[in-house]
Amino acid sequence: MRAAVCGSPIAHSLSPALHRAAYAALGLDGWQYDLLEVDEDRLPAVVAALDATWAGLSLTMPLKQAIVPLVDEVSDFARAVGSVNTVVVTPRSDRRRTPGRGGVRLRAENTDVIGLVTALAEAGADRVRRGVVLGGGATARSALVALLQAGCPRPVAVVRSPDRAAELRGVAARLGGEVEIRDWSELPVALTADVVVSTVPIGGSEAMTDAVLGAFRPTWWPVLLDVVYAPWPTPLAQRWGGPVVNGFEMLLHQAVAQVELMTGRRGPVAAMRAAGLAALEERARA
């Protein structure tokens, strides 16, 4: 059986280390997990080539929405979140064949939310009164849902684009919640939260860090989860004065959920964490 992580750029991904460790711990001999450089243009061809030898795909940027029209089914939860990071491949029970695919059915899922919820819970933030999301992309949608699931009555999202604001409002409404939208100029609102989730890519985080912190230093710091895991620490994590959760923890727990969806077996968290941390340490030494 095969599985792979797809995205662009993708060379930095730790997913192969996590999934391969899971297969080894579960005794799944013959299973392989690859890393595929795939952009939006190439994605349809990759999907069309899936057959019964495949268990699934992990998806990262820029594919979390591009995948939706290419699958047979999107789970109700993933549709509500508006972001997909997992495709599960199963044999078609009705024996009908989709042109270009070898008699399989593709189901899209979202495991980013459970990854975020679990990572926050392990940091002691299983209940959130006031949460702030920095950014408005696909991962920000999952972060918004994670805060709603943690009991936050009205999360705040700080976004650059009004278009992103509309998308986030739609996500909250589909799940029976609300979101408060703030403009990028209001980044210091993050320091009024219990939990802050930054979904900002590493390239934009230096300027964002200056805007969030400025010269102000609170007497009490929120928990920060920065979804970036390499390079680490990010500028925001490095200058944060309170508890910080590395994005690796989110990556780990969403991968555990993917393994369970693709194999039908319980994800071996300890083995996957050890493999991921070892891979990060090896990169740091390189």
Catalytic positions, please? 64
CA dist., res. 171 & res. 175, Å (int): 7
CA dihedral (191, 194, 200, 206) positive or negative: positive
DSSP three-state, residue 276: helix
CA dist., res. 234 & res. 116, Å (int): 18
Torsion of CA 89, 94, 100, 106, to 10 degrees: -20
Closest CA to 145 of 228, 58, 254: 254
CA angle 270, 116, 57 (to 5 degrees): 75
Q: Answer whether 125's CB lies under 8 Å from 98's CB.
A: no
DSSP three-state, residue 56: strand
CA dist., res. 258 & res. 88, Å (int): 9
